Amino acid sequence: MKKEGLTGSLIAISIGLVFGLVIMVIANPFQAIPGFFTMIGGWLIHPDFLRRVGDLFYIAGPLIMTGLSVGFAFKTGLFNIGATGQYTMGMFAGIYVGVYGDFFGPTQWIFAFLAAIVFGALWGLIPGLLKAYFNIHEVIASIMLNYIAMYTVNMWVQTNPTLFNVQFAKTVTIDANAYLPTTFLRDIFARSGIDIGILLAIGFSLLMYFVLEKTTFGYELKSVGSNRFASKYAGIKENRSLILSMTIAGALAGIGGALYFLSRGSINSGNQYPVANELMSAGFDGIAVALLAQSNPVATIFSALFISFIQRGGFFMQTLGIKIEIIDVIVAAIIYSSAMSMLAKDKLTSFLKKWRTKA
């Protein structure tokens, strides 16, 4: 991301925050200001600082992955609104191997992780094939696949008594061997949910950056995204590129599911899937992350960290007696208006330029 792009993103974030503050003032005038400060960083000022930072990294990991998934698809000319479905499928495969794959021993987590990649990729492959061979728009196909993934997974889980914990309406806890290694991280960020997930996510970000910017493969994918016809004319197999783009996007989102659920967890999350008939938000948050990062894989790391930061901040506003629903609204408003402001980024940057030359 160029310098101007970064400034644009920062302004977008500021607009989003101000917008959030306005909503808070309307909803709860007395607690608005302290609540706001809690949200934008106050929540970290706490004896549990390191644990909270660790948890932040833990929830940012999956978000980086779904952000990468959406951003990667954007760069190759596709709108992957199906990251949620791919995430769900990746999660299911990961949990399945995590529960039944005990014969893998200490390598169980690796196979669970690989299973998540494969299932996520398959769920991305389907809209890719539909687009390439039947010219069905990937948005339509992947929205539908989100629901298909959610209901299918719920059915698979609920009809499997050894996988489903009826009492808590969750999947059973995965084997300890299926947890991602925590290595030294948990020594630093004690009692938090952190594990190598965040490092893997950062690694994938750098890898995607490299693939997109430095390789012929990435060049081909981007070309097909920019102009399918010219790419075909230049000798690129455009259908192959398109299918691969969606498959890779699916795999990335699938990894997101693995990172979240193949974890020891800490903040009442990880290692079990609470069955519910609603789409998981991770994929949609990925859209906001990607927009804020302008689809740049490296910027995605920071934009996912920011959005997780705000979400965790919102969570801690509850201590001020602010209702969790209002927090959801505020966080959504910030994500939403940050993302929307990004769409007006060009105007922002040109305004900024003018303002600078005047000053």
Cβ nearer to other proteins, comparing 151 with 233:
233
347 binds other proteins (CB under 8 A): no
Q: Which of residues 265-304 bind other proteins (CB under 8 A)?
A: none
Beta bridge partners of 171: 164
For residue 339, what is the enclosing H or E element?
A: helix 324-343
Question: In the bound complex, what is the minimum distance in angstroms from residue 74's beta carbon to other proteins?
Answer: 13
What is the Cα–Cα distance from 245 to 151, expressed in whole angstroms? Answer: 25
Question: In terms of residues, how long is the chain?
Answer: 359
What is the Cα–Cα distance from 252 to 62, expressed in whole angstroms? Answer: 9
37 binds other proteins (CB under 8 A): no
What is the Cα–Cα distance from 318 to 326, expressed in whole angstroms? Answer: 10
Q: Which of residues 187-216 bind other proteins (CB under 8 A)?
A: 214-216
Supply angle C-alpha 118, 124, 127, rounded to 5: 145
Q: Which of residues 216-235 bind other proteins (CB under 8 A)?
A: 216-217, 219, 223, 226-227, 229-235
Q: Which residues make Cβ contacts (< 8 Å) with residue 225, sequence separation at least 6?
A: 75, 76, 77, 78, 245
Cβ nearer to other proteins, comparing 191 with 354:
354
350 binds other proteins (CB under 8 A): no
Question: In the bound complex, what is the minimum distance in angstroms from residue 211's beta carbon to other proteins?
Answer: 10
Supply angle C-alpha 278, 281, 287, rounded to 5: 135
Question: In the bound complex, what is the minimum distance in angstroms from residue 215's beta carbon to other proteins?
Answer: 5
Question: In the bound complex, what is the minimum distance in angstroms from residue 210's beta carbon to other proteins?
Answer: 9
Question: In the bound complex, what is the minimum distance in angstroms from residue 230's beta carbon to other proteins?
Answer: 5
Among 81, 95, 180, 236, interactor with other proteins by CB under 8 A: 236
Chain residues in the site for other proteins (CB under 8 A): 214-217, 219, 223, 226-227, 229-237
